[in-house]
Protein backbone atom coordinates (compact mmCIF):
# COMPACT_ATOMS: atom_id res chain seq x y z
CA UNK A 1 0.00 0.00 0.00
CA UNK A 2 1.26 3.50 -0.91
CA UNK A 3 0.45 6.19 1.67
CA UNK A 4 1.95 9.41 0.27
CA UNK A 5 3.14 10.86 -3.04
CA UNK A 6 4.99 13.99 -4.13
CA UNK A 7 5.85 14.89 -7.73
CA UNK A 8 8.28 17.48 -9.13
CA UNK A 9 10.58 18.01 -12.11
CA UNK A 10 13.14 15.51 -10.80
CA UNK A 11 10.77 12.60 -10.21
CA UNK A 12 8.57 10.96 -7.59
CA UNK A 13 8.81 10.71 -3.81
CA UNK A 14 6.63 8.06 -2.21
CA UNK A 15 5.93 6.45 1.14
CA UNK A 16 4.69 2.93 1.71
CA UNK A 17 5.34 -0.41 3.35
CA UNK A 18 6.77 -3.52 1.74
CA UNK A 19 8.05 -3.98 -1.80
CA UNK A 20 5.73 -4.55 -4.75
CA UNK A 21 5.17 -3.35 -8.34
CA UNK A 22 3.42 -0.04 -8.99
CA UNK A 23 2.00 1.43 -12.21
CA UNK A 24 2.52 5.16 -12.78
CA UNK A 25 -0.33 6.77 -14.76
CA UNK A 26 -0.58 10.25 -16.29
CA UNK A 27 -4.21 11.38 -16.51
CA UNK A 28 -5.28 7.72 -16.45
CA UNK A 29 -2.75 6.51 -19.06
CA UNK A 30 -0.20 3.97 -17.78
CA UNK A 31 3.28 5.33 -18.47
CA UNK A 32 5.74 3.06 -16.63
CA UNK A 33 6.09 0.75 -13.64
CA UNK A 34 8.53 0.30 -10.75
CA UNK A 35 8.99 -1.63 -7.50
CA UNK A 36 8.52 0.42 -4.35
CA UNK A 37 11.89 -0.39 -2.75
CA UNK A 38 13.90 -2.24 -5.41
CA UNK A 39 13.85 0.73 -7.81
CA UNK A 40 13.92 3.68 -5.40
CA UNK A 41 16.48 5.32 -3.12
CA UNK A 42 15.94 6.35 0.53
CA UNK A 43 15.43 10.12 0.86
CA UNK A 44 14.94 11.00 4.55
CA UNK A 45 11.38 9.79 5.28
CA UNK A 46 10.65 9.19 1.60
CA UNK A 47 11.60 6.84 -1.20
CA UNK A 48 12.84 8.73 -4.25
CA UNK A 49 12.60 7.75 -7.92
CA UNK A 50 13.99 9.94 -10.72
CA UNK A 51 12.06 10.22 -13.98
CA UNK A 52 13.28 7.67 -16.54
CA UNK A 53 15.42 9.52 -19.14
CA UNK A 54 13.19 8.69 -22.17
CA UNK A 55 10.28 10.50 -20.47
CA UNK A 56 11.99 13.77 -19.66
CA UNK A 57 11.31 15.52 -22.96
CA UNK A 58 7.55 15.13 -22.38
CA UNK A 59 7.45 16.50 -18.82
CA UNK A 60 6.39 20.05 -19.54
CA UNK A 61 2.88 21.02 -18.42
CA UNK A 62 0.10 19.99 -16.05
CA UNK A 63 -0.64 16.35 -15.23
CA UNK A 64 -2.56 14.17 -12.77
CA UNK A 65 -0.13 11.49 -11.55
CA UNK A 66 -1.61 8.28 -10.12
CA UNK A 67 0.00 5.24 -8.51
CA UNK A 68 -2.03 2.16 -9.38
CA UNK A 69 -2.09 -1.50 -8.33
CA UNK A 70 -1.17 -3.40 -11.55
CA UNK A 71 -3.12 -6.48 -10.42
CA UNK A 72 -6.47 -5.02 -9.33
CA UNK A 73 -6.32 -1.68 -11.13
CA UNK A 74 -7.05 0.14 -7.87
CA UNK A 75 -5.65 3.66 -7.59
CA UNK A 76 -3.73 3.92 -4.33
CA UNK A 77 -2.96 7.64 -4.45
CA UNK A 78 -2.85 10.52 -6.93
CA UNK A 79 -1.81 14.14 -7.07
CA UNK A 80 -1.75 17.04 -9.51
CA UNK A 81 1.60 18.42 -10.65
CA UNK A 82 2.99 21.22 -12.78
CA UNK A 83 6.18 20.15 -14.54
CA UNK A 84 8.56 22.42 -16.39
CA UNK A 85 7.23 25.74 -17.66
CA UNK A 86 4.62 24.48 -20.13
CA UNK A 87 1.05 25.73 -20.14
CA UNK A 88 -0.78 22.73 -21.60
CA UNK A 89 -1.25 19.15 -20.46
CA UNK A 90 1.54 16.60 -20.42
CA UNK A 91 1.05 14.16 -23.29
CA UNK A 92 3.30 11.13 -23.78
CA UNK A 93 2.58 10.54 -27.49
CA UNK A 94 4.34 9.96 -30.78
CA UNK A 95 4.20 12.44 -33.65
CA UNK A 96 0.89 11.00 -34.85
CA UNK A 97 -0.71 11.50 -31.44
CA UNK A 98 -0.62 7.80 -30.46
CA UNK A 99 -0.15 7.14 -26.73
CA UNK A 100 3.22 5.76 -25.67
CA UNK A 101 4.66 4.19 -22.54
CA UNK A 102 7.73 2.45 -21.16
CA UNK A 103 7.98 -1.33 -21.30
CA UNK A 104 9.74 -3.42 -18.65
CA UNK A 105 13.12 -2.47 -20.18
CA UNK A 106 12.17 1.23 -19.95
CA UNK A 107 12.05 1.60 -23.73
CA UNK A 108 9.60 4.25 -24.88
CA UNK A 109 7.22 2.72 -27.41
CA UNK A 110 3.61 2.08 -28.31
CA UNK A 111 2.41 -0.59 -25.90
CA UNK A 112 -0.07 -3.33 -26.73
CA UNK A 113 -2.55 -2.05 -24.16
CA UNK A 114 -2.91 1.21 -26.10
CA UNK A 115 -3.85 -0.52 -29.37
CA UNK A 116 -7.15 -1.81 -30.66
CA UNK A 117 -7.73 -5.24 -32.18
CA UNK A 118 -7.49 -3.98 -35.76
CA UNK A 119 -4.06 -2.47 -35.12
CA UNK A 120 -2.80 -5.84 -33.85
CA UNK A 121 -3.82 -7.77 -36.96
CA UNK A 122 -0.60 -7.19 -38.98
CA UNK A 123 1.53 -8.46 -36.08
CA UNK A 124 -0.64 -11.56 -35.67
CA UNK A 125 -0.44 -12.18 -39.42
CA UNK A 126 3.35 -11.84 -39.33
CA UNK A 127 3.60 -14.22 -36.38
CA UNK A 128 1.69 -16.86 -38.30
CA UNK A 129 3.86 -16.35 -41.40
CA UNK A 130 7.15 -16.50 -39.49
CA UNK A 131 6.05 -19.58 -37.54
CA UNK A 132 5.22 -21.35 -40.80
CA UNK A 133 8.56 -20.30 -42.29
CA UNK A 134 10.48 -21.62 -39.30
CA UNK A 135 8.55 -24.87 -39.39
CA UNK A 136 9.21 -25.28 -43.10
CA UNK A 137 12.92 -24.79 -42.36
CA UNK A 138 12.91 -27.79 -40.04
CA UNK A 139 12.26 -26.65 -36.46
CA UNK A 140 9.17 -26.74 -34.24
CA UNK A 141 8.59 -23.12 -33.18
CA UNK A 142 6.24 -21.83 -30.50
CA UNK A 143 5.29 -18.53 -28.91
CA UNK A 144 7.56 -17.69 -25.96
CA UNK A 145 8.32 -15.30 -23.11
CA UNK A 146 5.76 -12.50 -22.66
CA UNK A 147 3.71 -13.63 -25.64
CA UNK A 148 3.32 -17.13 -24.17
CA UNK A 149 2.68 -15.68 -20.72
CA UNK A 150 -0.14 -13.49 -22.04
CA UNK A 151 -1.70 -16.38 -23.97
CA UNK A 152 -1.66 -18.81 -21.05
CA UNK A 153 -2.71 -16.28 -18.41
CA UNK A 154 -5.17 -14.06 -20.31
CA UNK A 155 -5.50 -15.47 -23.85
CA UNK A 156 -4.26 -12.07 -25.08
CA UNK A 157 -1.18 -9.88 -25.35
CA UNK A 158 0.11 -8.34 -22.13
CA UNK A 159 -0.90 -4.68 -22.09
CA UNK A 160 2.47 -3.35 -20.91
CA UNK A 161 4.42 -5.42 -23.46
CA UNK A 162 5.63 -4.04 -26.78
CA UNK A 163 6.89 -6.90 -28.97
CA UNK A 164 6.13 -10.53 -29.71
CA UNK A 165 8.42 -13.45 -28.90
CA UNK A 166 8.88 -16.80 -30.62
CA UNK A 167 11.13 -19.68 -29.64
CA UNK A 168 12.21 -23.13 -30.69
CA UNK A 169 14.33 -25.94 -29.26
CA UNK A 170 16.87 -27.32 -31.70
CA UNK A 171 17.33 -31.01 -32.31
CA UNK A 172 21.09 -30.47 -31.99
CA UNK A 173 22.90 -30.58 -28.65
CA UNK A 174 26.17 -28.85 -29.61
CA UNK A 175 26.32 -25.02 -29.62
CA UNK A 176 28.12 -24.84 -32.98
CA UNK A 177 25.43 -26.88 -34.73
CA UNK A 178 22.73 -24.77 -33.08
CA UNK A 179 24.37 -21.57 -34.37
CA UNK A 180 24.65 -22.92 -37.91
CA UNK A 181 20.98 -23.86 -37.80
CA UNK A 182 19.99 -20.37 -36.61
CA UNK A 183 21.76 -18.71 -39.56
CA UNK A 184 20.01 -21.14 -41.89
CA UNK A 185 16.67 -20.10 -40.39
CA UNK A 186 17.61 -16.44 -40.86
CA UNK A 187 18.36 -16.99 -44.55
CA UNK A 188 15.02 -18.75 -44.97
CA UNK A 189 13.14 -15.78 -43.52
CA UNK A 190 15.15 -13.31 -45.58
CA UNK A 191 14.18 -15.24 -48.70
CA UNK A 192 10.56 -14.69 -47.63
CA UNK A 193 11.18 -10.93 -47.71
CA UNK A 194 11.73 -10.20 -44.01
CA UNK A 195 14.46 -7.89 -42.70
CA UNK A 196 16.49 -9.45 -39.89
CA UNK A 197 18.56 -7.91 -37.09
CA UNK A 198 20.68 -10.45 -35.22
CA UNK A 199 21.18 -10.35 -31.45
CA UNK A 200 23.51 -13.30 -31.02
CA UNK A 201 24.43 -16.67 -32.47
CA UNK A 202 20.92 -18.08 -31.91
CA UNK A 203 18.64 -15.08 -31.48
CA UNK A 204 17.43 -12.49 -33.97
CA UNK A 205 14.68 -9.97 -34.55
CA UNK A 206 12.32 -10.12 -37.53
CA UNK A 207 11.16 -6.65 -38.55
CA UNK A 208 7.46 -6.60 -39.46
CA UNK A 209 5.36 -3.67 -40.61
CA UNK A 210 2.22 -2.49 -38.89
CA UNK A 211 -0.89 -1.04 -40.52
CA UNK A 212 0.57 2.48 -40.49
CA UNK A 213 3.91 1.29 -41.90
CA UNK A 214 5.83 1.61 -38.63
CA UNK A 215 8.25 -1.24 -37.78
CA UNK A 216 7.61 -3.74 -35.00
CA UNK A 217 10.06 -6.36 -33.70
CA UNK A 218 9.27 -10.06 -33.63
CA UNK A 219 11.99 -11.82 -31.62
CA UNK A 220 13.05 -15.39 -32.44
CA UNK A 221 14.94 -17.11 -29.60
CA UNK A 222 16.72 -20.38 -30.26
CA UNK A 223 17.41 -23.02 -27.62
CA UNK A 224 18.70 -26.54 -27.13
CA UNK A 225 18.82 -29.34 -24.57
CA UNK A 226 22.16 -30.36 -23.09
CA UNK A 227 22.75 -32.73 -20.15
CA UNK A 228 19.17 -32.43 -18.91
CA UNK A 229 19.15 -28.62 -19.06
CA UNK A 230 17.21 -26.39 -21.42
CA UNK A 231 19.16 -23.35 -22.60
CA UNK A 232 16.95 -20.82 -24.35
CA UNK A 233 18.11 -17.36 -25.37
CA UNK A 234 18.17 -14.99 -23.86
CA UNK A 235 17.54 -15.88 -20.14
CA UNK A 236 16.83 -19.59 -19.58
CA UNK A 237 19.18 -22.27 -18.28
CA UNK A 238 16.95 -24.62 -16.31
CA UNK A 239 16.58 -28.38 -15.60
CA UNK A 240 14.04 -29.60 -18.13
CA UNK A 241 12.42 -32.65 -19.66
CA UNK A 242 12.06 -32.99 -23.44
CA UNK A 243 8.37 -33.96 -23.10
CA UNK A 244 7.66 -30.54 -21.59
CA UNK A 245 8.44 -29.07 -25.02
CA UNK A 246 7.39 -31.72 -27.53
CA UNK A 247 4.90 -32.68 -28.76
CA UNK A 248 3.60 -29.13 -28.88
CA UNK A 249 0.14 -27.99 -27.87
CA UNK A 250 -2.06 -25.08 -28.94
CA UNK A 251 -2.99 -21.90 -27.08
CA UNK A 252 -5.31 -19.02 -27.94
CA UNK A 253 -3.87 -15.51 -28.31
CA UNK A 254 -6.05 -12.54 -29.29
CA UNK A 255 -8.62 -14.89 -30.84
CA UNK A 256 -6.13 -16.94 -32.88
CA UNK A 257 -4.55 -20.33 -32.25
CA UNK A 258 -0.77 -20.60 -31.95
CA UNK A 259 1.65 -23.42 -31.14
CA UNK A 260 3.02 -23.60 -27.59
CA UNK A 261 5.31 -25.98 -25.69
CA UNK A 262 3.66 -29.24 -24.70
CA UNK A 263 3.47 -28.20 -21.05
CA UNK A 264 3.85 -24.40 -21.17
CA UNK A 265 3.65 -23.88 -17.41
CA UNK A 266 7.09 -25.49 -17.01
CA UNK A 267 8.67 -23.10 -19.51
CA UNK A 268 6.94 -20.11 -17.92
CA UNK A 269 8.30 -21.12 -14.51
CA UNK A 270 11.78 -21.43 -16.01
CA UNK A 271 11.40 -17.94 -17.50
CA UNK A 272 9.60 -16.04 -14.72
CA UNK A 273 9.83 -18.18 -11.61
CA UNK A 274 7.02 -19.83 -9.61
CA UNK A 275 5.08 -16.54 -9.32
CA UNK A 276 4.59 -16.25 -13.09
CA UNK A 277 0.80 -16.16 -12.73
CA UNK A 278 0.93 -12.81 -10.88
CA UNK A 279 1.22 -9.76 -13.22
CA UNK A 280 4.44 -7.77 -12.79
CA UNK A 281 4.86 -4.95 -15.34
CA UNK A 282 8.25 -4.03 -13.80
CA UNK A 283 9.66 -7.57 -13.96
CA UNK A 284 13.45 -7.87 -14.27
CA UNK A 285 15.17 -11.07 -15.33
CA UNK A 286 17.71 -12.31 -12.78
CA UNK A 287 19.65 -14.84 -14.83
CA UNK A 288 22.05 -16.96 -12.74
CA UNK A 289 25.68 -16.03 -13.38
CA UNK A 290 26.50 -19.58 -14.49
CA UNK A 291 23.76 -19.50 -17.15
CA UNK A 292 24.80 -16.06 -18.32
CA UNK A 293 28.44 -17.15 -18.69
CA UNK A 294 27.44 -20.16 -20.75
CA UNK A 295 25.11 -18.20 -23.04
CA UNK A 296 27.69 -15.43 -23.44
CA UNK A 297 30.48 -17.84 -24.27
CA UNK A 298 28.44 -20.00 -26.62
CA UNK A 299 26.36 -17.43 -28.46
CA UNK A 300 26.98 -13.79 -27.61
CA UNK A 301 30.73 -13.85 -28.04
CA UNK A 302 32.54 -10.56 -27.50
CA UNK A 303 29.48 -8.36 -28.08
CA UNK A 304 28.40 -8.66 -24.45
CA UNK A 305 27.75 -5.28 -22.80
CA UNK A 306 29.13 -3.07 -25.55
CA UNK A 307 25.99 -2.62 -27.60
CA UNK A 308 23.74 -1.90 -24.63
CA UNK A 309 26.16 0.62 -23.13
CA UNK A 310 26.52 2.61 -26.33
CA UNK A 311 22.81 2.32 -27.13
CA UNK A 312 22.02 3.93 -23.79
CA UNK A 313 24.58 6.70 -24.26
CA UNK A 314 23.15 7.55 -27.69
CA UNK A 315 19.49 7.35 -26.71
CA UNK A 316 19.72 8.98 -23.28
CA UNK A 317 22.66 11.34 -23.71
CA UNK A 318 22.13 14.97 -24.69
CA UNK A 319 22.81 15.89 -28.28
CA UNK A 320 25.72 18.36 -28.23
CA UNK A 321 25.54 21.71 -29.93
CA UNK A 322 26.43 21.40 -33.60
CA UNK A 323 25.68 17.65 -33.58
CA UNK A 324 24.92 17.70 -37.31
CA UNK A 325 28.16 19.53 -38.11
CA UNK A 326 31.28 17.57 -39.14
CA UNK A 327 33.90 16.95 -36.48
CA UNK A 328 37.23 18.73 -36.67
CA UNK A 329 38.67 15.23 -37.10
CA UNK A 330 36.80 14.69 -40.39
CA UNK A 331 37.82 18.12 -41.60
CA UNK A 332 41.43 17.35 -40.74
CA UNK A 333 41.30 14.08 -42.70
CA UNK A 334 39.79 15.84 -45.72
CA UNK A 335 42.58 18.42 -45.62
CA UNK A 336 45.23 15.69 -45.39
CA UNK A 337 43.69 13.60 -48.20
CA UNK A 338 42.43 15.82 -51.06
CA UNK A 339 42.06 12.79 -53.41
CA UNK A 340 40.04 9.99 -51.80
CA UNK A 341 38.74 7.10 -53.87
CA UNK A 342 36.70 5.56 -51.02
CA UNK A 343 36.34 6.69 -47.42
CA UNK A 344 35.37 4.14 -44.76
CA UNK A 345 34.14 5.58 -41.44
CA UNK A 346 34.44 2.89 -38.75
CA UNK A 347 32.02 3.72 -35.95
CA UNK A 348 30.09 6.23 -38.03
CA UNK A 349 27.25 6.63 -35.53
CA UNK A 350 24.49 8.76 -37.06
CA UNK A 351 26.69 9.43 -40.09
CA UNK A 352 27.48 13.12 -39.60
CA UNK A 353 31.12 12.91 -40.73
CA UNK A 354 30.37 10.35 -43.45
CA UNK A 355 27.58 12.48 -44.91
CA UNK A 356 29.76 15.60 -44.84
CA UNK A 357 32.49 13.80 -46.78
CA UNK A 358 29.92 12.42 -49.22
CA UNK A 359 28.59 15.94 -49.69
CA UNK A 360 32.07 16.86 -50.95
CA UNK A 361 31.77 14.16 -53.61
CA UNK A 362 33.70 11.44 -51.75
CA UNK A 363 32.19 7.91 -51.97
CA UNK A 364 31.75 6.85 -48.35
CA UNK A 365 30.89 3.64 -46.51
CA UNK A 366 29.84 4.13 -42.88
CA UNK A 367 30.14 1.15 -40.52
CA UNK A 368 28.44 0.78 -37.15
CA UNK A 369 26.74 -1.89 -35.05
CA UNK A 370 23.79 0.18 -33.74
CA UNK A 371 20.95 -0.27 -36.28
CA UNK A 372 18.90 2.85 -35.33
CA UNK A 373 21.89 5.06 -36.11
CA UNK A 374 22.48 3.29 -39.43
CA UNK A 375 18.84 3.74 -40.44
CA UNK A 376 18.99 7.43 -39.54
CA UNK A 377 22.18 7.92 -41.57
CA UNK A 378 20.87 5.98 -44.58
CA UNK A 379 17.68 8.03 -44.58
CA UNK A 380 19.63 11.29 -44.59
CA UNK A 381 21.85 10.01 -47.41
CA UNK A 382 18.79 9.30 -49.53
CA UNK A 383 17.31 12.72 -48.84
CA UNK A 384 20.60 14.50 -49.53
CA UNK A 385 21.31 12.34 -52.61
CA UNK A 386 24.97 11.88 -51.71
CA UNK A 387 27.25 8.85 -52.41
CA UNK A 388 27.12 7.34 -48.92
CA UNK A 389 26.33 3.76 -47.91
CA UNK A 390 25.81 2.52 -44.36
CA UNK A 391 26.41 -1.08 -43.32
CA UNK A 392 26.23 -3.05 -40.09
CA UNK A 393 29.54 -4.35 -38.76
CA UNK A 394 30.87 -5.48 -35.37
CA UNK A 395 34.54 -5.20 -34.48
CA UNK A 396 34.08 -7.78 -31.73
CA UNK A 397 33.02 -10.50 -34.17
CA UNK A 398 35.72 -12.02 -36.38
CA UNK A 399 33.15 -13.13 -38.94
CA UNK A 400 31.93 -9.57 -39.40
CA UNK A 401 35.43 -8.09 -39.51
CA UNK A 402 36.76 -10.49 -42.14
CA UNK A 403 33.71 -10.38 -44.40
CA UNK A 404 33.53 -6.58 -44.25
CA UNK A 405 37.25 -6.17 -44.87
CA UNK A 406 37.22 -8.53 -47.85
CA UNK A 407 34.34 -6.65 -49.47
CA UNK A 408 35.67 -3.13 -48.88
CA UNK A 409 39.19 -4.01 -50.00
CA UNK A 410 37.79 -4.18 -53.55
CA UNK A 411 36.50 -0.61 -53.54
CA UNK A 412 38.26 2.06 -55.65
CA UNK A 413 41.37 3.61 -54.09
CA UNK A 414 42.94 5.42 -52.48
CA UNK A 415 40.92 3.85 -49.63
CA UNK A 416 41.04 6.03 -46.53
CA UNK A 417 39.80 4.69 -43.20
CA UNK A 418 38.57 7.03 -40.44
CA UNK A 419 37.96 5.95 -36.86
CA UNK A 420 37.12 8.50 -34.19
CA UNK A 421 36.96 7.32 -30.58
CA UNK A 422 36.27 3.69 -31.40
CA UNK A 423 39.68 2.24 -30.54
CA UNK A 424 39.33 3.69 -27.04
CA UNK A 425 35.69 2.67 -26.60
CA UNK A 426 35.79 -1.03 -27.53
CA UNK A 427 37.49 -4.00 -25.83
CA UNK A 428 40.81 -5.67 -26.68
CA UNK A 429 39.25 -7.86 -29.38
CA UNK A 430 37.62 -4.82 -30.93
CA UNK A 431 40.91 -2.93 -30.95
CA UNK A 432 42.73 -5.80 -32.64
CA UNK A 433 39.97 -6.13 -35.21
CA UNK A 434 39.86 -2.39 -35.87
CA UNK A 435 43.51 -2.52 -36.92
CA UNK A 436 42.92 -5.76 -38.83
CA UNK A 437 39.96 -4.28 -40.71
CA UNK A 438 41.80 -1.03 -41.48
CA UNK A 439 44.78 -3.02 -42.76
CA UNK A 440 42.58 -5.14 -45.07
CA UNK A 441 40.88 -2.05 -46.47
CA UNK A 442 43.80 0.35 -46.85
CA UNK A 443 46.84 -1.88 -47.48
CA UNK A 444 48.91 -0.53 -50.41
CA UNK A 445 46.06 1.87 -51.19
CA UNK A 446 45.63 4.38 -48.38
CA UNK A 447 45.88 5.05 -44.67
CA UNK A 448 44.04 4.79 -41.37
CA UNK A 449 43.30 8.03 -39.54
CA UNK A 450 42.75 7.34 -35.86
CA UNK A 451 41.55 9.63 -33.07
CA UNK A 452 41.74 8.41 -29.47
CA UNK A 453 41.56 9.71 -25.94
CA UNK A 454 45.01 10.15 -24.38
CA UNK A 455 43.90 11.73 -21.08
CA UNK A 456 40.64 11.17 -19.22
CA UNK A 457 38.10 14.01 -19.04
CA UNK A 458 34.66 14.18 -17.38
CA UNK A 459 33.11 13.70 -20.82
CA UNK A 460 35.21 10.63 -21.67
CA UNK A 461 34.56 9.07 -18.26
CA UNK A 462 30.82 9.56 -18.71
CA UNK A 463 30.93 7.69 -22.03
CA UNK A 464 33.22 4.97 -20.70
CA UNK A 465 36.04 5.86 -23.10
CA UNK A 466 39.52 4.75 -21.97
CA UNK A 467 42.67 6.81 -22.32
CA UNK A 468 45.59 5.34 -24.31
CA UNK A 469 49.17 6.52 -24.68
CA UNK A 470 50.19 6.97 -28.31
CA UNK A 471 53.31 4.84 -27.73
CA UNK A 472 51.06 2.01 -26.55
CA UNK A 473 49.03 2.21 -29.77
CA UNK A 474 52.21 2.37 -31.85
CA UNK A 475 53.35 -0.94 -30.37
CA UNK A 476 50.04 -2.58 -31.32
CA UNK A 477 50.32 -1.15 -34.83
CA UNK A 478 53.85 -2.51 -35.19
CA UNK A 479 52.63 -6.03 -34.33
CA UNK A 480 50.29 -5.86 -37.34
CA UNK A 481 53.12 -4.83 -39.68
CA UNK A 482 51.91 -1.23 -39.82
CA UNK A 483 53.79 2.03 -39.66
CA UNK A 484 52.81 5.20 -37.80
CA UNK A 485 53.38 8.05 -40.24
CA UNK A 486 52.19 10.81 -37.94
CA UNK A 487 51.22 11.17 -34.27
CA UNK A 488 50.04 14.41 -32.66
CA UNK A 489 48.20 15.49 -29.53
CA UNK A 490 45.57 18.21 -29.29
CA UNK A 491 43.03 19.54 -26.82
CA UNK A 492 39.39 18.59 -27.28
CA UNK A 493 36.59 20.21 -25.31
CA UNK A 494 33.80 18.18 -23.71
CA UNK A 495 31.45 19.13 -26.56
CA UNK A 496 33.66 17.28 -29.02
CA UNK A 497 35.21 20.36 -30.65
CA UNK A 498 38.94 19.93 -31.12
CA UNK A 499 41.57 22.60 -31.45
CA UNK A 500 45.27 23.21 -31.00
CA UNK A 501 46.46 22.60 -27.47
CA UNK A 502 46.76 25.77 -25.44
CA UNK A 503 49.92 26.29 -23.41
CA UNK A 504 48.02 26.19 -20.13
CA UNK A 505 45.77 23.27 -20.98
CA UNK A 506 46.83 19.64 -21.21
CA UNK A 507 46.23 17.89 -24.56
CA UNK A 508 43.64 15.13 -24.18
CA UNK A 509 43.28 13.81 -27.74
CA UNK A 510 45.68 11.86 -29.92
CA UNK A 511 45.61 11.65 -33.69
CA UNK A 512 47.56 9.11 -35.69
CA UNK A 513 48.09 8.36 -39.37
CA UNK A 514 48.86 4.67 -39.98
CA UNK A 515 49.67 2.72 -43.14
CA UNK A 516 50.39 -0.85 -44.18
CA UNK A 517 52.43 -1.96 -47.18
CA UNK A 518 52.12 -5.70 -46.71
pLDDT in tens, the chain (518 residues): 799 999 999 999 999 999 999 999 999 999 999 999 999 999 989 999 999 999 999 999 999 999 999 989 999 999 999 999 888 999 999 888 989 999 888 889 888 888 888 888 888 999 999 999 999 999 999 999 999 999 999 999 999 888 899 999 999 999 999 999 999 999 999 999 988 988 889 999 998 876 666 677 799 999 999 999 999 998 899 999 999 999 999 999 999 999 999 999 999 999 999 999 999 999 988 889 899 889 988 988 645 444 444 444 444 444 444 457 899 999 999 999 999 999 999 999 999 999 999 999 999 999 998 888 999 999 999 999 999 999 999 898 888 899 999 999 999 999 999 999 999 999 898 999 999 999 999 998 999 999 999 988 877 776 778 899 999 999 999 999 999 999 999 986 544 444 444 444 678 899 999 999 87
Residues near 168 by beta carbon (within 8 Å), at least 6 away in sequence: 134, 139, 140, 141, 142, 220, 221, 222, 223
Rounded-to-integer distance, Cα 511 and Cα 485, Å: 11
Degrees (nearest 5) of the Cα angle 478, 481, 485?
65
Rounded-to-integer distance, Cα 352 and Cα 374, Å: 11
pTM: predicted TM-score of the whole model, two decimal places: 0.70
Is the Cα torsion angle 22, 218, 146, 180 positive or negative in sign?
Answer: negative
- 290: phi then psi, degrees, rounded to nearest 5: -65, -40
Total residue count of the chain as it appears in this document: 518
CB-CB contact of 349 with 322 (8 Å): no
Compute how many other C-beta atoms are within 10 angstroms of the C-beta atom of residue 444: 12
Domains of the chain: 2-92 (2.60.40), 112-304 (3.30.460.10), 318-516 (3.40.50.150)
Around 189, how many Cα atoms within 13 Å sit in the side-chain half-sphere?
29
CA proximity to 369, closest of 397, 392, 345, 346: 392
Burial label for 120, CB within 10 Å (0-12, 13-18, 19+), is: buried
Reading phi first (left if > 0) and then psi (alpha if -120 to 50, else beta), residue 27 is in left
Amino acid sequence: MVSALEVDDTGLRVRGDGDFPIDVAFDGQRIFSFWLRRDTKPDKDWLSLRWPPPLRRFLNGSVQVSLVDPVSGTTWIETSARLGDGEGAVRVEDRQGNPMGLDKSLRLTRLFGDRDAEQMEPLLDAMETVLKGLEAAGVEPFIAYGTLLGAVRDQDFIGHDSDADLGYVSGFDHPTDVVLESFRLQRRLQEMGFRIERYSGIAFKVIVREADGSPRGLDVFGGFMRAGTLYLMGEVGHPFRPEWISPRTDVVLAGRTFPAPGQPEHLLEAMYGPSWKVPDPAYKFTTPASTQRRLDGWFRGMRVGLRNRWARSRVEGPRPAGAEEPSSFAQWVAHQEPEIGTAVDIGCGRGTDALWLAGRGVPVVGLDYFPPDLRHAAGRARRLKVPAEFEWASLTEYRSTLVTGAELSRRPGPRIVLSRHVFDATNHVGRENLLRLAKMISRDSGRLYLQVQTSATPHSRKLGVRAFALDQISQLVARTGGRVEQATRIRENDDGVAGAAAADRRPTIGRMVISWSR
